[in-house]
Amino acid sequence: RAKLRLYLEQLKKLVPLGPDSTRHTTLSLLKRAKMHIKKLEEQDRKALNVKEQLQREHRYLKRRLEQLSVSGSVERIRTDSMGSTISTDSEQEVDIEGMEFTPGEADSIDSISDGEEEEEEEEEDHYSAKGGFGFPQKNRRFS
């Protein structure tokens, strides 16, 4: 009995008590302890889910950064209109508004830009459907 009483006193210190904390029965203390344990387990489960989600996002972003750094470091060699080569580390802006194209050239340029737009749309669809980082969007509540 003495050990049981000691354990109940220790439990009173660990469990948050309500406003009517002046008098407790053993049953009410045990019920509060049980509710408190369930609440802590739920918080722990949510924290683990958030941690796993953040780890997945971190791995995804690391892979994406590696992909971008690899594609950015590849040196591109292009030919200008005079036949000489231009070596660049990044895309160059070209003003084509004043240029004239033959019908065959215009068609090939349209198909190139259509392909780029499709890639951008696919990438946007991927991000919007996956919540921005390749993962389904969840309602997150942090407390």
* pLDDT tens, position by position, 75-115: 544 555 565 555 555 455 555 555 555 555 555 555 554 55
Which CATH class for the 7-45 domain? few secondary structures
- Domain borders along the chain are 7-45
End-to-end C-alpha distance for the chain, whole angstroms: 39
Q: What is the pTM of this model?
A: 0.44
- Residues of the chain with confidence (pLDDT) below 70: 20-22, 74-143
Q: Which amino acid is at 48?
A: L
